[in-house]
Amino acid sequence: MKGLFLALGILFFSTADAQYPSKPLRLIVPFAPGGSTDIFARLIADRAQGPLGQTLIVENRAGAAGNIGAEAVVRSAPDGYTLLMATTGVMAINNALYKNMTYDAARDLEPVLFVASITNVLIVPTDLPAKSVAELIALAKKDPGKLSFASSGAGSSTHMSAELFKSMSGTDILHVPYKGSGQALPDLMSGRVSMMFENAPGAVPHIKAGKVRALAVTGLRRSPALPDLPPVAETVAGYESLSWSGIAVPAGTPRTIIERLNRDLNAVLTTPEMRSKLAEQGAETIGGPPEAFAQHIRAEREKWSRVIKTANIVVN
């Protein structure tokens, strides 16, 4: 009798998988509207109905550095109808950073698709007497603890990029966290803080307007959005810090559904129009199979866990 129930269960789920998707899907963005993660999600959602055959609805669940939205996905049914716009923080940083986590991204979320990566940009006030990364490091070493860096919050890519820079350059620079880049940038422009590793989409308009000075990008190569800027790695060998996003689903989601989502959303991502739209945001389109995204997440998790431990960063 037990074998019969098991067989019926397998038949039921196999039939459900074959009919998937049979209703609209939700894509949870664990941040407020307007940021790069939200922009990417909406670009995908606007173009996903063709391949998926169903509407993909974007829903913002902001708070706790992405943890509120991520937890909502973790606790949803693993049926492929609730997706997460998965970010560097949610997938690779938060579990090492926060003491009281209610989920484990490595255990509770399944990678589907690596969407894009974004370089951060090292920017400083226009009157700071440093016009290169080397000059900035020299200035920081001359007066340890005097310079400060702004971030959009503890554990954000703007924070972790700076901590990695401090560690690899041997500098002592004070962290000044803000509740988002919108609050941090005015203080940077006025000189209240000395530097910031801002996401390219947020930095580029202020660079072009001459409100801040850009020194370098945080990728290993120059960004098409800022071709005149060298990588930090040209001065600090091996330095790389990218903000990235992808799509994940709750653990336990059937493999057939993950493969279907990967296939259909890859079809959206790899169109020339989509690549162009992402490039306008300073992002590089990635794509590929779920396994490639999973491998990237593992490497990033190891990297940022080391940085957090070395810097002794803990958030309650």
pLDDT tens column, 100-116: 899 999 999 999 999 99
- pLDDT at site 154: 82
Q: Tell me the C-alpha distance between 159 and 136, whole Å.
A: 17
CA dist 159 → 92, 194, 198, 214, 246 (Å): 14, 14, 9, 17, 20
Start-to-end CA span in the chain (Å): 50
Tens of pLDDT, residue by residue over 283-307, are 999 999 999 999 999 999 999 999 9
In this predicted structure, what is the pLDDT of residue 2? Answer: 42
> 270 near 262, Cβ under 8 Å?
no
- β-sheet bridge partners, residue 87: 245
The domains located in the chain, with CATH, are 17-118+242-311 (3.40.190.150), 119-234 (3.40.190.10)
Alpha carbon distance 273, 270 (integer Å): 8
pTM: 0.85
CB atoms within 10 A of CB 178: 21
pLDDT at 17: 67
Residue numbers of the chain with a pLDDT score lower than 70: 1-17, 316
Question: What local confidence, expressed as pLDDT, does residue 1 receive?
Answer: 52
Rounded Cα–Cα distance for residues 150 and 265 (Å): 35
For residues 246-279, one letter each, b for 16 or more C-beta atoms within 10 angstroms of the residue's C-beta and e for the rest, the string is bbbbbeebbeebbebbbebbbbbbeeeebbebbe
CA atoms within 13 A on the CB side of 250: 18
Q: Do the Cβ atoms of 56 and 45 come closer than 8 Å?
A: yes
**In whole angstroms, what is the distance from residue 177 CA to residue 159 CA?**
8
